[in-house]
Amino acid sequence: MSAERLRFSPDILARLGEELVPDVDQGIIELVKNAYDADATLCTVDLKTQSDGVSSILIHDNGNGMTGSSLRDGWLVIGRSGKRKKTPTPRFGRMPVGDKGLGRLAALRLGRRVILRTRPAREPGAEYELVLDWRAFDAAAVIEDVPINVTRSNTDQEHGTDIIVEDLKSPLSRSTANKLARGLILLADPFIDEGGGPDDRPRPSTKPPREAAQDAAHELDPGFKPDFLSNEFDELARKVRLSYFGDAEYRLQAVLDDQGRATFRLLDWKGDVLHEQAPAEHYLAPAFVFDLWAFILEGGRFSNKTATMAEVKTWLSHVGGVHVYEDGIRVPPYGGPGDDWLDLNLRRARNPELRPSTNTAVGRVRLSNLDRSLIQKTDRIGYIENDAFIELRRCCGDALEWAGRVRTRERDQRRLAERQAEKQKTEKAATRLEAVLTKAPSFASCTSSDVLRQVGSGFSGEMASSGVDI
């Protein structure tokens, strides 16, 4: 009897594709993440609309590209990810942000046909091309019946990869394009240069000497820039990248080291530490840094700021909330519209005074998930709520509560000092009045008008000198 093997119906492509990542914008962002993992410094997304209305998407990057063998043994193998071990990328030593290798399939299934052209840095002058015709797969009995030819040709283009998703099943709406623009802008931390101050980066466990030597051999990472060729993107990018951090009322920072020890700090707008505490509590989460900038959006409190209150409100409407960045790349949906994973609004509702909300604060959690204790969900939207994630959220929540208590104590002390100062001022004025009356000539030898004139002028002068209105 002949040996058999498992075969897969084309329906599995739909299960793993469009049903896995139903949001169009998120599927495209998964392809952009692949460019980051390929050591690209730039990845451009270009939406094309032909005269007949059929749309296509071009994703271009200047990364390392892929060889013929890496295409066959990696890119075309569904569900296998070479990023599972979190091996640093060869050029810049980045930590790959992909997971199960399914994200690219979800993006590629957005259209009916896909063309991939890639130029490996290791083979200058070579370009590999393949075509995925999803209609051929849909018509086949099993996936294995559809051949995929990888061709090699000569080129004078620089290394990188082009992916063209043609004949989109659903044309992109304006709202989808806006969501994509926002997602691309926030994908690579646009606030990377903000903050500063003590212990301003997560510190993962010390690497073995061999890995440390590999890191030393990497080039300095110049950063990663996603770009979206649309007017909406340019305008939104300009708004997001405006920096209003200097107009924040205060900044909260929580730093967790790789031993689970936390440090909470309150800083002013310059980054100077006002209050600091190291709680006795230990947290079983990966090392991270949590920063939150809070704004007081009240006319009387905002008059001495560099920006107008309307400008800051508009900016916060695009970036407000607490975002999560794993190895420099954003993890959705944290900090997205309607996502309040740290319950900022609930905390404010319970205690309205001195508490930030998603409309009055912007924050980020930066971490390096080397030990893979945090696991992204299969649909790439958020982390599985395991013990490590719950502990991370608990630590951030404890930092928010600590900051609330400190600021409440400061307010109460300030009010007490103001009341004491007012009491002292009143007592001082009364003492001076008594002194004036004591020094006044005997009323017996004065007319009534003299008494009123002397007492009145003395009282007015003493009260005026004490700052009390009469």
DSSP assignments along 281-293, one per residue: -B--S--EEEEEE
Interval 448-457: pLDDT, tens: 555 555 555 5
Other Cβ atoms within 10 Å of 287 Cβ, number: 22
**pTM for this prediction:** 0.79
Residue that the structure tokens 């193998």 belong to? 77
Class of residue 197 by CB neighbours under 10 A (exposed 0-12, middle 13-18, buried 19+): middle
pLDDT bracket for residue 412 (50, 70, 90): confident
Residue that the structure tokens 């094309």 belong to? 48
Angle at which helix 174-187 crosses helix 231-241, to 10 degrees, equals: 40
Beta bridge partners of 361: 294
Interval 111-126: pLDDT, tens: 899 999 999 999 999 9
- Judge whether residue 470 has pLDDT over 50: no
Higher local confidence (pLDDT), 351 or 66: 66
Other Cβ atoms within 10 Å of 277 Cβ, number: 15
Higher local confidence (pLDDT), 184 or 103: 184
pLDDT in the model for residue 22: 66
| Mean of pLDDT values over 261-267 | 96
Rounded Cα distance between 412 and 424, Å, is 18
- All domains in the chain, ordered by first residue: 11-187 (3.30.565.10), 242-412 (no CATH), 440-470 (no CATH)
Taken in order 109, 111, 114, 118, the sign of the CA dihedral is negative
Q: Are strands 42-49 and 55-61 parallel, antiparallel or unpaired?
A: antiparallel
Main-chain phi, psi angles of 156, to 5 degrees: -105, 10
Alpha helices in 6-153 (DSSP H): 11-16, 24-37, 68-70, 103-108, 134-139
DSSP labels, 113-127: EEEEEEE-TTSTTEE
Q: What share of the chain is helix, strand, coil (3-state, %, to 5)?
A: 35, 20, 45
pLDDT in the model for residue 100: 56
DSSP labels, 436-449: HHHHSPPGGGS-HH
- Judge whether residue 277 has pLDDT over 90: yes
| Mean of pLDDT values over 441-460 | 54
Radius of gyration of the chain measured on its C-alpha atoms: 32
Higher local confidence (pLDDT), 157 or 14: 157
Interval 355-401: pLDDT, tens: 889 889 999 999 988 888 998 887 778 999 999 999 999 999 999 99
- Judge whether residue 49 has pLDDT over 80: no
Q: Which two tokens stand for residue 457?
A: 């002028």
Straight-line distance from the first to the last Cα atom of the chain, in angstroms, rounded to the nearest whole number? 111
- Judge whether residue 342 has pLDDT over 90: yes
- Judge whether residue 262 has pLDDT over 80: yes
pLDDT in the model for residue 386: 96
CB 81 within 8 A of CB 100: yes
Q: What percent of the chain has pLDDT over 90?
A: 36
Residue that the structure tokens 């103001």 belong to? 418
Buried-state track 73-100, b at ≥16 Cβ within 10 A, e below 16: eebeebeebebeeeebbbbbbbbbbbbb
Q: What percent of the chain has pLDDT over 70?
A: 80
pLDDT in the model for residue 469: 46
Helix (H, G, I), strand (E, B) or coil at 56: strand
- Judge whether residue 57 has pLDDT over 70: yes
CA distances 214 to 51, 211, 219, Å, are 51, 5, 11
pLDDT in the model for residue 172: 75
Taken in order 109, 111, 113, 116, the sign of the CA dihedral is negative
- Judge whether residue 202 has pLDDT over 80: no
pLDDT in the model for residue 240: 72
Higher local confidence (pLDDT), 355 or 436: 355
Rounded Cα distance between 314 and 297, Å, is 12
pLDDT in the model for residue 268: 87
Rounded Cα distance between 38 and 31, Å, is 11
Rounded Cα distance between 279 and 320, Å, is 28
- Judge whether residue 65 has pLDDT over 90: yes
- Judge whether residue 13 has pLDDT over 60: yes
Higher local confidence (pLDDT), 27 or 209: 27
pLDDT in the model for residue 217: 67
Q: Which two tokens stand for residue 20?
A: 């896995």
Q: Pseudo-torsion of CA 299, 302, 303, 304, nearest 10°?
A: 170
CB 203 within 8 A of CB 258: yes
- Judge whether residue 173 has pLDDT over 70: yes
Average pLDDT, the chain: 82
Taken in order 165, 336, 244, 403, the sign of the CA dihedral is negative
pLDDT in the model for residue 119: 97
